[in-house]
Amino acid sequence: MRVRIKFSKNGSMKYIGHLDVMRYFQKALRRADFHTSLSGGFSPHMIMSFAAPLGVGLTSDAEYFDLDLEEAKSSSRMAEELNRQMAPGFRVLSVREIPSDKGSKGMTLVAAAEYEVRLRGSVLPEDCGGTRISELLGLFLAQKEIFVTKKTKKGEREIDIRPLIYSLSYSDGTFSMTISQGSSNNLKPELVIGAFAAFAGVSAEKSDMMIHRKELFADRTENGTHHFVPLDELGTDIKEGIDS
Q: What is the pLDDT along the chain (244 residues), one digit of tens a residue?
A: 999 999 999 999 999 999 999 999 999 999 999 999 999 888 889 999 999 999 999 999 999 999 999 998 999 999 999 999 999 999 999 999 999 998 899 999 999 999 999 998 767 765 565 568 888 999 999 999 999 988 777 778 899 999 999 999 998 889 999 999 988 889 999 999 999 999 988 888 889 999 999 999 999 877 777 899 999 999 999 997 555 4
Amino acid identity, position 189: P
Query: CA 140, CA 136: separation in Å to the nearest integer?
Result: 6
Query: CA 57, CA 54: separation in Å to the nearest integer?
Result: 9
Give the number of C-alpha atoms closer than 13 A to the C-alpha of residue 97, restricted to the C-beta side.
13
Write down the pTM of the prediction.
0.91
Query: CA 232, CA 3: separation in Å to the nearest integer?
Result: 10
Strand partners, 10: none
pLDDT of res. 235: 95
pLDDT of res. 50: 96
For residues 29 and 36, the answer to whether their CB atoms sit within 8 Å is: yes
Please choose, from the candidates 103, 98, 16, the residue with its C-alpha nearest in 3D space to the C-alpha of residue 64. Answer: 98
Strand partners, 65: 5, 50
pLDDT of res. 244: 46
pLDDT of res. 41: 83
Name all domains of the chain by residue range, CATH numbers in brackets. 2-108 (3.30.70.580), 110-230 (no CATH)
SS3 at position 68: strand
SS3 at position 66: strand
SS3 at position 33: coil
